[in-house]
Every structure is written in C-alpha cells, then in structure tokens.
C-alpha cells in the first residue's frame, strides 16, 4: 500500500516503509519487501518439501518386474552373459524388496547387496547397465570413476556421484535415496602401488576410501550442481543407506593374478588333473575377491561389494549375434540411418562373417564390430545421400576393399 500523505511506499505484508527495508518489489495492487520475499520462499520450500516426502515413489511388489522378467528384457538387447544377467536381475529385484520392507517396519532388516561386475573391454558391462535403466521404476544413473579424486585435489569429489542421481530424480531427495547408481571404470581407482605411504594416491586409494561411506550407507552432503565443494555452497543431504551401487570394470591384466592364484592351489599328485580342468581361455570365470585385492582394491571396499560376477569373453558365435540380433544391433542402426535418406541398405551374408573374423583378429570385443562397420560404410554414407539412390548392397569385395584401404588394419595384433 502507499502512504498518500508523504507518498512513501510500504510493504503490504509487514508494513515497513521502503526506507526501512533493502528494497521493495512492486506488484499490481501492493508491494513486498526483500525480507518478506525471502521468508515466503522458505515457507514455500518447507511446504513443498513435506509434500515431496509424501509423494516419494510408492512401490508395489505385484507391479515390479520379477528376476526372470528382468533377464528376459536384457536378453532382447544383450547377447550372452547369462551369469551376469542373473546376478543383476536378482540384485535389482532384491533392491525393490528392501525398499518395500523398509516401509513395512519389520524387525528383520535386509542389508543391501552392492554388486561388482568384472569383464574385459567390449563384453557388455556398460550396455547391461544402460539397458536395465530402461526397465526400472526407481532413479538410475551411470557415473564414471576415472574423474574422481580425493577431496581438495583437481578433479571431482566423490559426492558428485550422487549429483547425477539427484538430477535424474528431479532433485526429489526421497526418490533419489532409493535409486541405483552404476559406477563404471571402477578398476581405474585401483591402488597404484603396494606401499600406500610412498606417495599420496589421490585418484586411486584415496578415492576408494572416500567411496566407503557411500557404499556402506551414510548421510552425505551433495553439491546440487556437481563439481567441487566450497564453503558458501548450499548442500543437499542424501542418505545412501538404500541406494544400490553396481560397479563395473575391465580390470585389464587381472587374469595374471587369477592364474597365479590357481597355480598356487595346484600342488601334489593331483596337480596335472586340476590344471587340466582350468579353462585357460576364460580365466575370468574363476575370479575371487582376493584377486581384486591383488589388483589394487582395498579390502574395505571389496567387503562392501559382496556380490561378485564376471562377463565371459565374446566368442565368434556371440559376436555374430551381436552384429544383427539385438533390437538395437549395429547393422539395424545403419539400416535405419540409410532409411532416413530413403535408401534400402542390405548386406551379403558373407560380409557379416568377414566383419566378425576381423573383430576377433583385432581383439576389440563388441566395440571392434562398430569400428569395422563404420570403416566399411564411411564412403557410402558420405556419397549416397547426394546420389539419390533407392538401394545399396554391401558385398564382400566392397567390404574387403574399404577395410584394406583404411588405417584400421594397423589395429591388428600379433
């Protein structure tokens, strides 16, 4: 309202004049001062916060996907890796049941089973995580461990892992507190040396120690925009007790650790017999927690990742299926790209076998398939959109010619 005698504007809420406040915001029929605006904002946030807690996602066990249903969904996008799919399906389903049991108020408290997946590059660890995210009823995010450093050093703080989860949950903290986080490249934070006292391992053991409180469950102050924390920044407290953590890593070279351990167990007259039962082409299936410790993970973090599973190396048959069978297979993606230019793309059957043979030769896993197909199709993708063709057939001779003239042949390993 306005004081007509002295022509001084006053706040319509507290009645103080503009001389007594910082500033006045003018409305259609009144004014509001900066103090009242701040107080109104805090009241609104408090009211919405209470409503937010009431509106946290309510789960119904009858509507949730069962482990077999989760695995069947993964089968549509990921070829093979049945063991890893089973572990993932059971862990995710049990995570749902933990959330339901938390609301039931039972005396028996179910502990969460964080999971770690080990497999060489290109076997499908990240693809499994991305695929399962499509099916879930809770917030899910994938973060990369390679950018993390110990607090106070250049890089991202450990708490920034939860920033992305908050963003996926639209900053609804109760929903974020029942989400799932996939930490990729977990092997990149392995301890760099056997003696941690020589130098400060700020991106290795330091990060592992920082992760302990997240994996176990505690209230963590999360910077809402990520990045580094600073004293003037407002933090969002997040309880990680009911957040499921799934970790994945290639652990390149861990096969040597497994082989050393298996050899130490082969002693005495049964040595030859036991050695014969070991599949030297797939040592990853014999992985045990002590191998992770030998690789450089500290015992405390291994104990907080109780479920350990592995991904099999991809054989010829699996690579052939990956090329064409999944819903989002590599070949279907290129057919779709050409279809958008009204061109019907087709391949000779022998081309697929040639691509798979080269992928095995270069030892790049499923990612190698994409590199090879991209190399073969690059010239046609450059020229055909301007040539107004109706169809294009990729022959074996064309594929060989494209690959031989490219630099990808340098990837070949002895």
pLDDT above 90: residue 377: yes
Q: Which fold has domain 61-254+279-310?
A: Rossmann fold (3.40.50)
pLDDT value for 266: 47
pLDDT digits (tens, 9 = 90+) for 21-73: 888 888 888 889 988 988 888 887 776 655 444 445 566 667 788 999 999 99
* Nearest CA-CA partner of 158 in 143, 166, 148, 173: 148
State how far the Cα of 408 lies from the Cα of 406, in Å rounded to an integer.
Answer: 5
* Bridging pattern class, strands 180-184 and 244-249: parallel
Tokens of 389: 């063709």
| 61-254+279-310 and 316-411 have identical folds | no
* Bridging pattern class, strands 2-3 and 8-9: antiparallel
What is the average per-residue pLDDT within 220-227?
77
Q: What is the mean pLDDT of the chain?
A: 83
Q: Which residue has the tokens 């290795």?
A: 204
Beta-bridged to residue 345, according to DSSP, are 392
- The 3-class SS string of 304-371 reads CCCEEEECCCCCHHHHHHHHHCCCCCHHHHHHHHHHCCCCEEEECHHHHHHHHHHHHHHCCHHHHHHH
Considering only CA atoms, give the Rg of the chain: 28
State how far the Cα of 260 lies from the Cα of 254, in Å rounded to an integer.
Answer: 10
Kindly report which listed range (36-45, 78-87, 184-193, 261-270) carries the lowest average pLDDT score: 261-270
**What sign does the CA torsion over 97, 100, 101, 102 have?**
positive
Look at 104 and 133; give whichever has higher pLDDT. Answer: 133
Q: Can you say how many angstroms the Cα of residue 25 is from the centroid of all Cα atoms in its chain?
A: 46
Look at 55 and 76; give whichever has higher pLDDT. Answer: 76
pLDDT above 60: residue 195: no
Tokens of 232: 């003037």
pLDDT digits (tens, 9 = 90+) for 304-356: 999 999 998 888 999 999 999 998 899 999 999 999 999 999 999 999 999 99
Look at 74 and 223; give whichever has higher pLDDT. Answer: 74
CATH architecture, domain 316-411? Orthogonal Bundle (1.10)
pLDDT value for 405: 83
Domain ranges of the chain: 2-54, 61-254+279-310, 316-411
pLDDT digits (tens, 9 = 90+) for 116-174: 999 888 888 888 988 888 888 888 999 988 888 876 677 778 888 899 899 998 989 99
pLDDT value for 347: 95
pLDDT above 80: residue 97: yes
Kindly report which listed range (47-56, 218-227, 402-411) carries the lowest average pLDDT score: 47-56
Three-class DSSP category at 52: helix
């Amino acid at each position: 309202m306005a004081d007509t005698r002295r022509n001084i504007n006053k706040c319509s809420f507290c009645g103080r004049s503009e001389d007594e406040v910082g500033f006045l915001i003018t409305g259609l029929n009144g004014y509001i001062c900066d103090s009242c605006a701040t107080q109104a904002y805090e009241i609104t946030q408090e009211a919405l916060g209470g409503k937010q807690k009431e509106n946290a996602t309510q789960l119904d066990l009858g509507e949730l996907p069962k482990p077999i249903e989760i695995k069947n969904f993964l089968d549509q996008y990921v070829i093979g890796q049945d063991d890893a799919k089973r572990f993932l399906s059971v862990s995710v389903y049990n995570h749902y049941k933990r959330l339901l049991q938390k609301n039931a108020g039972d005396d028996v408290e179910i502990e969460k089973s964080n999971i770690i997946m080990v497999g060489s590059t290109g076997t499908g660890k990240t693809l499994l995580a991305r695929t399962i995210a499509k099916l879930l009823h809770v917030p899910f995010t994938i973060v990369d461990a390679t950018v993390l450093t110990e607090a106070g050093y250049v890089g991202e703080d450990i708490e920034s892992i939860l920033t992305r989860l908050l963003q996926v949950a639209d900053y609804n903290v109760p929903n974020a507190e029942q989400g799932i986080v996939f930490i990729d490249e977990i092997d990149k934070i392995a301890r760099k040396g056997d003696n941690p006292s020589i130098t400060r391992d700020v991106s290795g053991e330091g990060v592992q120690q920082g992760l302990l409180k997240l994996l176990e469950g505690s209230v963590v102050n999360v910077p809402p925009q990520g990045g580094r924390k600073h004293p003037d920044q407002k933090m969002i407290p997040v309880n990680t007790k009911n957040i499921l953590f799934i970790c994945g890593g290639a652990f390149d070279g861990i096969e040597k650790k497994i082989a050393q351990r298996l050899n130490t167990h082969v002693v005495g007259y049964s040595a030859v017999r036991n050695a014969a039962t070991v599949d030297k082409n797939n040592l990853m299936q014999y992985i045990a927690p002590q191998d992770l410790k030998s690789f450089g993970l500290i015992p405390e973090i291994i104990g907080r990742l109780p479920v350990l599973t592995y991904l099999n190396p991809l054989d010829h048959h699996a690579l052939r299926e990956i090329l064409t069978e999944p819903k989002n297979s590599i070949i279907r993606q290129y057919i779709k790209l050409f279809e958008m230019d009204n061109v019907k793309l087709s391949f000779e059957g022998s081309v697929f076998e040639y691509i798979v043979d080269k992928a095995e030769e270069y030892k790049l896993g499923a990612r190698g398939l994409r590199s090879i197909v991209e190399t073969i199709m690059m010239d046609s993708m450059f020229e055909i959109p301007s040539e107004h063709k109706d169809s294009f057939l990729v022959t074996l001779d064309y594929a060989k010619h494209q690959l031989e003239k490219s630099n990808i042949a340098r990837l070949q390993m002895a």
